[in-house]
Amino acid sequence: MRRRWLYGVVAAVLVLGAGVLFLTERPLTVSVVQPEREVALRIYGLGTVEARILSRVGFEVGAALTSLAADAGDIVIRGQELAVLHSAEQEARVARARAAVAANEANLAKADAAVVRARAMLAQREAANRRQQGLAQRDIASVQRAEEAQRDEDVARADLAVAEADLAVIRAQGLDAAAALQQEETLLGHHRLTAPYDALIVARHAEAGTVVKAGDPVFTLVDPASIWIQAYVDEERAGQLALGQSGTIRLRSQPSVEFNGAIARVGLESDRVNEERRVWLTCVDCPNEMFLGEQAEVRILTGTRATALMVPEVAITGFDGYRGTVWVVRDGRLARAKLTFGARDDRGRVEVTGDLPEGAVIVARPPPKGATDGRRARIRDAP
């Protein structure tokens, strides 16, 4: 009985040992990375539809809105009237300024006539003075009469100087009146809001009868030709970006359609919190009707490889963006290898650039638990 029990224990130990040996030494089946041809390296970015030229336009003065000539969705041309403010008070100021200009013109005509009269009087006094001086020299007229003639000439010359000075003052007042009129007319023009460029009206922020203050936005305008896609790209991948690179755009409202675009600007400042860089793509064949703020996905083509080994990032441990460790199969057994990597794509894969041992193939995803160096491995779907 005792011997039978001992045999049973030995058999159990042998079975258990065989099971452990089978579990730890049996070949692991793994998938490996295969070389690919014509590999497109793309970077993924998420962003929104924006406009490079966007203006929130309003009046430079405050008053009540009397009329609005446009609404959201309208296309307007440069100089087209959009809205008008109540302007009766300013029109009265303009009329007053015009009256001041007219009064100045009348005063100017009067001053001109006074100058002409003063010159005529001076010419008369000069002639009379010459006669009296000549008579006095021949002792025909008295010295007193000659002195009186000289005095009259001097007074006439002084009157002419005064008249010319009055004319200069009135001319200066005329310039001031014209400038005041121009100022009032300019302020009157500020009561009329016009489109600063050919634009699409995105929003109307006020209605007729509303009292608006100077600077309050009444319309939001965009230049339809300036609509583009603003996307955010992870800083780890942003180093491959360059102006002119092509990309595909997928709008949230049309997920089944891909549009073509190109990088028009790469941001010079990264987001310090999200660690992302902004890029802007112009769209070549996007629909005519675009909605600002709509979410968009972009995939930017940064390059191609004739042949490449692309390893999923999940299969790399200790990856610092340049080097990392992967599992490889060499001579039928698992081993670890530290490789160097290069460009990434939008599928979460990294290009192997060097240090792959000769005859080794890279395991495409982390092996099951219990994998150790030297463990036998069988390649699934081996070529």
Report the candidate in 343, 240, 233 with the shortest Cα–Cα distance to residue 277: 233
Residue 280 · residue 332 · CB < 8 Å: no
pLDDT of 240 reads: 86
Rg (the chain; Cα; Å): 46
In the chain, the amino acid numbered 367 is: P
Q: What sign does the dihedral 19-21-24-30 (CA atoms) show? A: negative
Q: What sign does the dihedral 239-240-246-247 (CA atoms) show? A: negative
What pTM was estimated for this model as a whole? 0.70
pLDDT of 21 reads: 43
What pairs with residue 202 in β-bridges?
none
pLDDT of 1 reads: 54
The rounded distance, in Å, linking the Cα atoms of 262 and 247 is 6
pLDDT of 183 reads: 94
383 residues of the chain, pLDDT tens digit each: 555 655 555 555 554 544 444 445 578 888 888 898 998 899 999 999 999 999 999 999 999 999 999 999 899 999 999 999 999 999 999 999 999 999 999 999 999 999 999 889 888 888 887 777 777 777 776 777 777 778 888 888 898 899 899 999 999 999 999 999 999 999 999 999 999 999 999 999 999 999 999 999 999 999 999 999 999 998 888 888 999 999 999 999 998 999 999 999 999 988 888 889 999 999 988 888 888 999 999 999 998 899 999 999 888 988 888 899 998 988 888 889 999 998 888 888 899 998 888 888 898 888 777 678 888 888 876 44
